[in-house]
Chain A
Amino acid sequence: MLPRPTSHSKALGPGVAGPELAVATSAVLDRPPQPGAHLPLTGAAPCAVDPTSLNDPRQHTKYPYVTGTSVLAVKYKDGVLIGCDTLGAYGSTKRYKSTQRLYRVNDKCVVAAGGEISDFQHISTLLDELTTDDYRIDDGIQLTPQQVYSYLCRVMYNRRNKFDPLWNSLVVGGVQPDGSQFLGMVGMIGTHYTDSHVTTGFANQLARPLFRERQSDNMSEEEALNLLYDAMRVCYYRDKVSINKFQVAKVSTAGGVSISEPFALDMRWDYKMFSNPTKWAVGAW
């Protein structure tokens, strides 16, 4: 028997056993673990997902390092246009200013990515393997954008289920065999949707309002390019981690895939009222 402490809470009154007198005995300490809300009823050890808890040297992706920012894409009359800048940022540093975030799968499909660049390179390798298989089979049939989209959905979702995601927001765009345009987005946790215009990252909030107002499935190429340029301009103005160097991929029913050379857009920095903004508020910004 363990000695029982004789002091007790005054609130309980004299000679009364209360919480302070409840001492853990061996009966309490040495019993097997009871099922609780967080433990299985069989009494087995809970499923450990974190490899570090199993003394496994492998690690799960916790944060991205070299990242790409937004991707913008619209459908137009003859196909789809996908635009993004060419920056691979390392945190807030503009480290790699000539990364191509657009990947040509075949002449009907392009995949673009925001997020971790190394994971995008891995995805490009996977798609390369699929395309090589297609080439070797040599039956004239190529992967359609819809098939690439479904494949990428499964890849992303399965990685998410292992708590080791590919840290990307992917945009799949192209032309289906029947001539209709295809445009879809797959996120890092497997979320996916198809629409007439898709955006990732900052462009979700900056470009989507412009697309919702001006995009239509039968717009001309010139209108679509102007819309894309306006949206990319706004994204450059308001996204800290972006540069004025863009590439646009065009997938059209007639012309196949063409990825443009990097180009810069005109920016307006000379509005009159920005010239001396604190004229009437000296000391403010």
Chain B
Amino acid sequence: MLEGKGMTLPKAWKTGTTIAGLIYKDGVVLGADTRSTSGSTVADKNCSKIHYITPNIYACGAGTAADLEHVTDMVSGQLALHRYATGRSARVITAMTMFKQHLFKYQGHVGAALVLGGYDINGPHLFTIYPHGSTDSLPFATMGSGSLNAMAMFEAYYKDDMSRTEAMELVARGIRSGVMNDLGSGSNVDLCVITKDGVEYLRNYEYLQAKTYTRQFPVKYPPGTATVLKQRILSLKDVEVTEGAPEEMDVS
């Protein structure tokens, strides 16, 4: 109603984003930027877009921040119960199926686009999941507003059987490309490397837009910085100090 009179409501926080994933020889590397936007304002300069699903599965998320948080928490909880019920560690396709069934049920209204990666009993896996519920199984994938920028790097430099360092370097390069060339992505690069031996969650792996100067506060000016033009000294020796009457409750 107020919008009819010209008021603009603040837009839902979205992660205009660059997220990427890559399968290399021994596992999966996931990467994300850290900027969360509300319209054209940066809402969170250092948010975390690589969400925990299970100890061996992580998901990067692009789209509406609230939807992503809740849908990843929900699948994470469902999978924890599933692990207890089956007595086995979770598989990535199980997480993928839970996500796609939930998202399809809501016909795209749950604005969550995910890059899901993990290492399970069948090896490393990487899937993309779109808000309407479709999925792709890929060796390298990017999502978000900076996805084309990151994909340009992947298409140009991907090769079979990369080593861990090469894979991390390429994913970081892709996210950097998104951060530098897309306005919806920014700040820092997060990486997450998942192998059969475990997960290495590299929060703020690279600082790309850090402040180059930190201000000293409070500012300390040495005496003599300001020129003294006039000086007047008042003695407070004979000043009388009276205690104020106590504040009474206002009962009028």
**Chain A residues in the interface with B (C-beta under 8 A):** 202, 205-210, 212-213, 230-231, 233-234, 237-238, 271-274, 277-281, 284-285
| B50, CB-defined interface residue at 8 Å | no
B residues less than 8 Å from A274 (CB atoms)? 138-139
A residues less than 8 Å from B182 (CB atoms)? 205
| B72, CB-defined interface residue at 8 Å | no
A residues less than 8 Å from B199 (CB atoms)? none
Q: B156 contacts A233, CB within 8 Å?
A: yes
Bound complex: CA of A58 vs CA of B211, how far in Å?
A: 56
Partner of A234 from B134, B136, B155 at Cβ < 8 Å: B155
Q: B148 contacts A271, CB within 8 Å?
A: no
| B177, CB-defined interface residue at 8 Å | yes
Given contacts A280-B93, A281-B96, A273 and B152 within 8 Å (CB-CB):
no
Bound complex: CA of A202 vs CA of B181, how far in Å?
A: 13
A residues less than 8 Å from B160 (CB atoms)? 271-273
Q: B155 contacts A281, CB within 8 Å?
A: no
Bound complex: CA of A52 vs CA of B182, how far in Å?
A: 40
Q: A280 contacts B125, CB within 8 Å?
A: yes
B residues less than 8 Å from A234 (CB atoms)? 151-152, 155-156
Top-9 shortest CB links A-B: A273-B139, A205-B148, A209-B177, A277-B137, A206-B152, A234-B155, A284-B135, A281-B137, A272-B160
B residues less than 8 Å from A280 (CB atoms)? 92-93, 122-123, 125, 137
What residue in chain A is nearest B153 (Cβ atoms)?
A209
A residues less than 8 Å from B153 (CB atoms)? 209-210
B residues less than 8 Å from A230 (CB atoms)? 156
Bound complex: CA of A209 vs CA of B152, how far in Å?
A: 7
What residue in chain A is nearest B154 (Cβ atoms)?
A234
Partner of B23 from A205, A210, A273 at Cβ < 8 Å: A273
What residue in chain A is nearest B158 (Cβ atoms)?
A271
Q: A205 contacts B139, CB within 8 Å?
A: no
* 17 more CB-based (< 8 A) A-B contacts, given A209-B177, A238-B148, A273-B160: A202-B148, A205-B148, A205-B152, A206-B151, A209-B152, A213-B177, A234-B152, A271-B139, A271-B158, A271-B160, A273-B139, A274-B138, A277-B136, A281-B96, A281-B135, A284-B96, A284-B127
B143-164 interface (Cβ within 8 A of A): 148-149, 151-153, 155-156, 158-161
**B92, B138, B155: which has the most chain A beta carbons within 10 Å?**
B155
Bound complex: CA of A190 vs CA of B105, how far in Å?
A: 46
| B74, CB-defined interface residue at 8 Å | no
A residues less than 8 Å from B123 (CB atoms)? 280
Q: B127 contacts A281, CB within 8 Å?
A: yes
Q: A207 contacts B137, CB within 8 Å?
A: no
A residues less than 8 Å from B139 (CB atoms)? 271, 273-274, 277
B127: min CB distance to chain A, Å: 7
B152: min CB distance to chain A, Å: 4
A residues less than 8 Å from B134 (CB atoms)? 285
Partner of A209 from B96, B127, B161, B180 at Cβ < 8 Å: B180
Q: A238 contacts B151, CB within 8 Å?
A: yes
B220-251 interface (Cβ within 8 A of A): none
Bound complex: CA of A230 vs CA of B161, how far in Å?
A: 21
Q: B155 contacts A237, CB within 8 Å?
A: yes
Bound complex: CA of A271 vs CA of B139, how far in Å?
A: 9
A residues less than 8 Å from B148 (CB atoms)? 202, 205-206, 238
A228: min CB distance to chain B, Å: 12
A residues less than 8 Å from B156 (CB atoms)? 210, 230-231, 233-234
**A202, A233, A271: which has the most chain B beta carbons within 10 Å?**
A271
A219: min CB distance to chain B, Å: 17
A280: min CB distance to chain B, Å: 5
B117: min CB distance to chain A, Å: 12
A258: min CB distance to chain B, Å: 26
A residues less than 8 Å from B180 (CB atoms)? 209, 212
B residues less than 8 Å from A205 (CB atoms)? 148-149, 152, 181-182
**A208, A230, A234, A280: which has the most chain B beta carbons within 10 Å?**
A280
Bound complex: CA of A206 vs CA of B138, how far in Å?
A: 19
Bound complex: CA of A234 vs CA of B174, how far in Å?
A: 14
Bound complex: CA of A212 vs CA of B149, how far in Å?
A: 11
Bound complex: CA of A209 vs CA of B153, how far in Å?
A: 8
A15: min CB distance to chain B, Å: 30
What residue in chain B is nearest A209 (Cβ atoms)?
B177
What residue in chain A is nearest B149 (Cβ atoms)?
A209
B6: min CB distance to chain A, Å: 12
What residue in chain B is nearest A285 (Cβ atoms)?
B136
B residues less than 8 Å from A284 (CB atoms)? 96, 127, 135-137
**Could you name 19 residue pairs across A and B whose Cβ atoms are closer than 8 Å?**
A202-B148, A205-B152, A206-B148, A206-B151, A206-B152, A209-B181, A233-B155, A234-B151, A237-B155, A238-B151, A271-B139, A274-B139, A278-B137, A281-B93, A281-B137, A284-B136, A285-B135, A285-B136, A285-B137
